[in-house]
Amino acid sequence: MEKHMLALQLSHILGEPYSREWVYEQLELPKKESFGDLAFPCFPLAKEFKKNPKLIADELAEKLKHPHITKAESAGGYVNVFLDQSFFTEETLKEVLANDRDYGSHNFGAEKTVVLDMSSPNIAKPFSMGHLRSTIIGNAISNLAEKCGFETVKVNYIGDYGTQFGKLVAAYHRWGDDDAIQADPLTELTRIYVKFHEEAKTDPTLIDEGRTCFKKLEDADPEVLELWRWFKDVSLQEFDRIYDLLGVTFDLTRGEAYYNDKMEGVIKRIAGAGLLEESDGAQVVRLDEQELPPCLIRKSNGTTTYATRDLAAAIDRYESFHFAESLYLVGHEQTLHFQQVKYVLDKMDLPWANDMHHVPFGMILKDGKKMSTRAGKTVLLEQVLQEAIDRARENIADKNPDLKNQEQVARQVGVGSVIFHDLKHDRTHDVEFSLDDMLSFEGNTGPYVQYTHVRTKSLLKKAGYEKEDAEVKLVDEKAWPLIKLVRAFPKVVKESYEQYDPSRIAKYLLDVSRSFNHYYAHNQILDSDQEAGRLTLIYSVNLILQNGLEILGIEAPDQM
C-alpha cells in the first residue's frame, strides 16, 4: 500500500510521462533505518529536467505531502520518506488479527490450476541428495501457489523407462542376485548398474545388449516386462519411506511408461501437422527458426525418446487438468530439452504451450563435481536425513533432557535443517554438499527459525495471551523494524511465487527471526506497561514464522 501511495503522489508531482507504475519501479528500501522507510532516486530524472539530482530531490521533498507521511527529506540525490509509524502499525496488526492463519494469502490464483512435475527419481536407483532439490523446491512452490489461491496438482513423474532400463536388465542377466535384491533392492540394483558402465568401457558389446533389452521392453517381452515391474515395485516402496520423512505427498504418481500406448498417437499428430521429417533414419522436428537443434521423436532403431514421452505427458496433463501453468522442476542441464518440447507443442498450434515453464535449479555438488549414480559418486538422502535426526536428538539430550516427545522434535528439527539449508539458497545456484553446514544448529539455519518460533510461542503461553487481549498500537519506535517485516509478508509470498523462488521466504524468515530476537533482547515483554501491545506484535511474529515454515514444508515444533 505504502509504495503505491508514494508512487501516486510522486507521479502527480512529476506529471507526464512519469506514470505511477514507472515511479513504483524506481522506489527502493534505504540502506539504513535512519534514512527512512522508502527512497526515490532522482538520478534518472537529471537528463530530462536538466538539473542536478540533488536539486530535483530538494524540490520533490518540499512538495511531497500526505497524511500518512511524517517527513520527506532530500539526501544525496534521493528523496527519503518516513512513514506514519502509528498508522501503519495499527493497520498491519489489524490485518494480521483479521486474517490469522490466512495472513499473507492472495486470491489471484482462484479457480486456476497449477500442475507441478517434481521429484521424479529413477527406479532401481537410490534416492540421492541430487533428487532433494526437485522434491522440496517443488513442494514449496506448490505451497506458495496454494497460498495465492491456486489449485495444485503435484505429479511425481517417475523415471521408469528409457535405455537405462535396458542396461539394467542386461546387467541383471550377467550379475543379478535375487537374494541380494530382495534384501536391499536399491543398493544391489545400483551395484550392478555401476558395474555395467565400468565393464562397458572395455566391452562395447554390453551397450548393444542394453539396447536390445530396451527394445524388448518396448515390445512388451514377458520376461523383460516382469523384471521391469519388479524393479519398479521395490523402488517405489523405498521412495515412499523417504517422502514420509520429508513430509511430501503427491496427487499423482505416474511413470514415463504410462505413455507407451499414447506415443504413437502423438507422433501421428506431429506428422499430421506437417512437422515430422526423416534424418539419418530417425524422425525429428526441426527447430531452425528457434535456433535450436532438431527434436528427436523416434530413433533410427524405432525406439521413442524422452522428448516423445514428455510431449505425450504434456498433452495428457492439459487434457486432464486444463492448467493455467504447468511447471517442470528439473535441473539446469535439461534446459535445451524443455525448450525443444515447448516449441514442438507451439508448432502444433497448442496455445497452452506458452503456459508451460521449466523451473530450473542448480546442482548439489560434492567436492565441486556433479553427483552421479553411473559413476558410483552419490550421497544417499536417507543417510543424511537420519544423521540430521541423530544430531538433533543428541542436541536435545544435551540442552533439554526433560523435553517431552524428544523423538518427534528430533525428527522435526533434523529434517527441517536439511530442507532449510537447501531452500535458503537461490534456486538457480549450485549448492556444495557439506554435512556440517547442513546440520549446524546455529546461524542462518532452519533450527534457528524453529527455535525463534518456539520462543514466541512460549512467551504467549506464559502470558496466557488470547487474541481478545490484542492491542493494535505502536508500543515503541524500537518495534517499527519488526512491524515493517510483518507488514511485508504478503508481498514476499506473492513475489516468491511469481519468481518460483522459495529462498525469498527462507531469507525473509531469517530476517524476521533476527529482528524479533534483537527486539526481545532489548525490551521487557512480560510485566511491562506495554505488555498487551508487545504480545500482540509477538503473536503476529509467531503466525508468520509458523506460516512461513509451513510454506517451506518444515514443521514448527512447540518446544525444543
Q: Which domains, and CATH codes, for the chain?
A: 2-83 (3.30.1360.70), 119-260+308-370 (3.40.50.620), 381-552 (1.10.730.10)
Strand 369-370 versus strand 113-118 pairing type = unpaired
Q: Are 301 and 215 in contact (CB under 8 A)?
A: yes
Letter for the amino acid at 553? G
Q: What pLDDT digit, counting tens, does each position of 173-218 carry?
A: 999 999 999 888 888 998 999 999 999 999 989 999 999 998 898 8
What is the predicted pLDDT for the residue at 21? 96
Overall residue count recorded for the chain in this entry:
560
> What is the Cα–Cα distance from 441 to 450, expressed in whole angstroms?
10
What is the predicted pLDDT for the residue at 379? 66
Residue 219 falls in which region: left (phi positive, over 0), alpha (psi -120 to 50) or beta? alpha
What is the predicted pLDDT for the residue at 126? 81
Instruction: Give me the residue label for grid cell 525406439.
Output: 303
Q: How many CA atoms lie within 13 A of 15 on its CB side?
A: 3
What is the sign, positive or negative, of the torsion defined by CA atoms of 183, 189, 192, 194?
A: negative
Our CA dihedral for 389, 124, 206, 334, rounded to 10 degrees, sits at -80
Q: Are 2 and 40 in contact (CB under 8 A)?
A: no
Instruction: Give me the residue label for grid cell 532433494.
Output: 132
> What is the Cα–Cα distance from 117 to 16, expressed in whole angstroms?
46
> What is the Cα–Cα distance from 415 to 554, expressed in whole angstroms?
8
Grid coordinates representing 502 are: 522459495
Q: What pLDDT digit, counting tens, does each position of 138-163 carry?
A: 999 999 999 999 999 999 999 998 78
Grid coordinates representing 557 are: 515444533
Per-position pLDDT tens, the chain of length 560: 899 999 999 999 999 899 999 999 999 999 999 999 999 999 999 999 999 999 999 999 999 999 999 999 999 999 999 999 999 999 999 999 999 999 999 999 999 999 999 999 988 888 877 789 999 999 999 999 999 999 999 999 999 987 889 999 999 999 999 999 988 888 899 899 999 999 999 998 999 999 999 889 888 899 999 999 999 999 999 899 999 999 999 999 999 889 988 999 999 999 999 999 999 999 999 999 999 999 999 999 888 889 999 999 999 999 999 999 999 999 999 999 999 999 999 999 999 999 999 999 998 887 777 765 555 556 678 888 999 999 999 999 999 999 999 999 999 999 999 999 999 999 999 988 787 887 787 789 999 999 999 999 999 999 999 988 899 998 889 999 999 999 999 999 999 999 999 999 999 999 999 999 999 999 999 998 899 999 999 999 999 999 999 999 999 999 99
Q: Are 256 and 161 in contact (CB under 8 A)?
A: yes
Q: Is the peptide bond before 17 cis (omega within 30 degrees of 0)?
A: yes
Three-state secondary structure string covering 31-90: CCHHHCCEEEECHHHHHHHCCCHHHHHHHHHHHCCCCCEEEEEEECCEEEEEECHHHHHH
